[in-house]
Structure 1
């Protein structure tokens, strides 16, 4: 049964719902709708006033189906360019000043969303007495297209703007702005690394299967793909592209010319990723990236068969070696650098492998650290899992993640020690 609940700040009254496990506030705008003339531009923070209906889940960013759907299954959520929203779960919108965790989803900067059932934060909120905030940020061309003379990395600026909103307003939802953990997986984890090269407004990070710098494009590389993208759209500029229907932007991701430009880059990166544009991120990021581990305590790790979720990859020796280069070694190096800088750092590996096909693949830990196994019903990567397996892994992971969010040790020695979940 759902009952109304409100949070107030300034002249805004936000109406949510009180559920069995936690109060939920959905689709809270943190920036002006990035539509029309605002398409492709940096986010503009919005000031909320009056009565805000946050009782119903909102849309996610426009996107094509995920390339990992064969492993994870798919999700059903409305899509809209007007998607710069937050979802908040809290035990109560009171003055308790609880620890806060902000979730940045993965999806290769092209798919996913904070407002989907996979990432429901109610169990984290209720069992940990913490406030959970999920972020939608712009995806694919809308958030990461880069063309000469135009802004880049607006999707990353979305994340930064959302975090700033949380710092300003989370006390109204029972959270403590001085105790914020930012948590992300895959592209979301890589976004955290990028944010840590700037001026982060958070003290702790949980980084799951992030490539930790591998995804950054030079401005020249990004401009080359951007120009191919404009050509696929049949336009000469971003101004012209602002007038196109969003479906045209999605369809252009599969244009042969765009695929050729990506192949010619020869890096194996996703079509979209953070760009070393000289403004949001420096042209030469190595110095800033080397300093980033010293800015937050961290829980960081990967899975044993990362690449098995990706098309054309598996659990063979070559795929595993590739996964170690892209995910495992960078996580260990980040933890080592954090320790050397005087930070607390813990390493984990997720090695539970219920199916022969996918093993412990990219994303497989997500159901367990959120405690949302039911939301992944039918996911092929979980074929072979028993109810006992699910209960055991949730019982191990969810409390460990919550301890880190509360500023404690997750429950094992710091890096280079490794906690393996099997």
Structure 2
């Protein structure tokens, strides 16, 4: 063992927080360096550490490569190592066009929340960089448990865009109220995270997620966390990544529980790309910007792709006519981390068997329908197709995933979210239904439109929802049971109607009252 290793271990012990002796934003030693934090913007007793590198910058020879742990300055004594400014978020990873076309808002009845959502989708790439593999920690060690349960949250937005710095994922409210630690992180997306060539490392975004989880396991004690209680939760595409994780790392899970919100599961219609499709999309880009076909030696192709600018590569990503925008470069079947037979794997229990929290909103595709009408009103997708999409891609796969998990005796918790609050509606319609991602807004207590007053019932329900997530994280096996939630059973009243009529409570029904069978 090297002396530096001994010193590092000693310093971690010294820096491990003791309840009551914590100073907000104090420095925490990690392999990334001494991280200096700050007080949260609205709740100054919460410490936040932003932009902590967990991997080496994936640039140069590391573009389109598996992530490597951040090396920091391990050759220097910690007293001489530069500190990390944890007061600012790191850059977001490069994004591709999520929605195609030029938005037309006139006559669409968008509310202030709808316009804010639209602005998020069209904000561009100004804050992005390929040097983006960083994570953020919200913590409050001076009160509550000395070793706190940890939630790692995986952001969504279709594997093509999104960021851990999105204001939606501001962890200060749930950390202040619920005595847990929240971690968010960036992962590579689109062609940078899921390149299609069978000659290259694929599903890199999933490998990024794994390295972030390992970093949390190895370092969260210094922030007051319990590495034995790590819950991995994602929303939308983030839920998809969490579910992929559960099948990829069965032999070394690290996590103690998992959550899929607005759940895109591995059993859904959002199937992993087949190798031929992934290869076609990759070849389309390399042919466009490198003028190299499939007959070209791959070493020359990858060398060319590593010498192109980020802008050149993102501009070459194919955009489909689908109003959802770029559907290229999703997770693809490599037979190592992503597979083609998830129904069989789920049926035979070949996934990480830890407690599962899984939920959907009342009308998942309302979000897609409203935004598609702004971007591509002539596309003519039709309400029937949206209804089938909601059924095939969300409610049915989530219920199947819950059933397979519960059948193996693994504690499972399922909800539908019904909240309909005026400040969060995307249109000015008198009544809307809970749409894709609106449960995430509720749990974090964040506003789509800063300064717009939230409904009193919404605030009560949000606090209740945060309490439910925290109860699950602290004790995944029984925490929600003691919180009043029934454990999932397809034949009993066990699906919680969260926010039914905007009220606080469980309001459990039999799953069949909400779930519907798949059409495929």
TM-score using structure 1 length: 0.88
Secondary structure of 2:303's partner? helix
Distance 1:246 1:224 in 2: 20
Once the two structures are TM-superposed, the CA of residue 359 in structure 1 deviates from its matched residue by 3.0
Report whether the alignment pairs 1:279 with 2:279: no
Report whether the alignment pairs 1:129 with 2:193: no
Please, which of 208, 225, 228 is the counterpart of residue 284 of structure 2? Answer: 228
Please, which of 229, 238, 243 is the counterpart of residue 302 of structure 2? Answer: 238
Distance 1:330 1:11 in 2: 39
Secondary structure of 2:219's partner? helix
Distance 1:38 1:358 in 2: 46
Please, which of 82, 85, 106 is the counterpart of residue 53 of structure 1? Answer: 85
* Contact 1:99 1:406 (8 Å CA) reproduced: yes
Secondary structure of 1:306's partner? coil
Please, which of 246, 249, 257 is the counterpart of residue 196 of structure 1? Answer: 246
1:214-234 deviations in Å (ceiling 9; x for gaps): 331122221122212222334
Q: Which residue of 1 aligns with 2:136?
A: 87
Aligned pair count? 407
Report whether the alignment pairs 1:72 with 2:96: no
Once the two structures are TM-superposed, the CA of residue 269 in structure 1 deviates from its matched residue by 9.1
Q: Which residue of 1 aligns with 2:296?
A: none
* Contact 1:293 1:338 (8 Å CA) reproduced: no
Q: CA RMSD in A?
A: 2.9
> Closer, same or farther in 2 for the Cα pair 1:63/1:206, shift >3 Å?
same
Please, which of 153, 157, 162 is the counterpart of residue 103 of structure 1? Answer: 153
Q: Which residue of 2 aligns with 1:414?
A: 487
Distance 2:116 2:390 in 1: 16
Report whether the alignment pairs 1:336 with 2:403: yes
Q: Which residue of 2 aligns with 1:361?
A: 435
Query: As a proportion of its length, which structure holds more strand?
Result: 1
1:96-151 deviations in Å (ceiling 9; x for gaps): 21000001000110111112221011111111111110010011111112113111
1:171-208 deviations in Å (ceiling 9; x for gaps): 11111110000010011001011100122210111101
Once the two structures are TM-superposed, the CA of residue 301 in structure 1 deviates from its matched residue by 1.0
Distance 1:242 1:193 in 2: 30
Once the two structures are TM-superposed, the CA of residue 211 in structure 1 deviates from its matched residue by 2.4
Distance 1:178 1:168 in 2: 11
Structure 2, unaligned stretches of length 5 or more? 1-22, 74-80, 101-113, 293-300, 374-379, 501-520
* Contact 2:32 2:54 (8 Å CA) reproduced: no
Please, which of 170, 174, 184 is the counterpart of residue 220 of structure 2? Answer: 170
* Contact 1:293 1:337 (8 Å CA) reproduced: no
Structure 1, unaligned stretches of length 5 or more? none
* Contact 1:179 1:202 (8 Å CA) reproduced: yes
Report whether the alignment pairs 1:181 with 2:231: yes
Distance 1:391 1:275 in 2: 40
Q: Which residue of 2 aligns with 1:217?
A: 273
> Closer, same or farther in 2 for the Cα pair 1:242/1:93, shift >3 Å?
farther
Please, which of 251, 260, 270 is the counterpart of residue 315 of structure 2? Answer: 251
Once the two structures are TM-superposed, the CA of residue 296 in structure 1 deviates from its matched residue by 1.7
Please, which of 295, 298, 310 is the counterpart of residue 353 of structure 2? Answer: 295
* Contact 2:320 2:326 (8 Å CA) reproduced: no
Please, which of 200, 209, 229 is the counterpart of residue 150 of structure 1? Answer: 200
Please, which of 204, 208, 223 is the counterpart of residue 261 of structure 2? Answer: 208
Deviates more, 1:218-227 or 1:137-146: 218-227
TM-score using structure 2 length: 0.72
Secondary structure of 1:295's partner? coil
Once the two structures are TM-superposed, the CA of residue 272 in structure 1 deviates from its matched residue by 2.4
Secondary structure of 1:244's partner? coil
> Closer, same or farther in 2 for the Cα pair 1:169/1:259, shift >3 Å?
same
Structure label with greater radius of gyration: 2
* Contact 2:147 2:225 (8 Å CA) reproduced: yes
Once the two structures are TM-superposed, the CA of residue 11 in structure 1 deviates from its matched residue by 8.7
Q: Which residue of 2 aligns with 1:325?
A: 392
1:147-183 deviations in Å (ceiling 9; x for gaps): 1311110011000110011111111111111000001
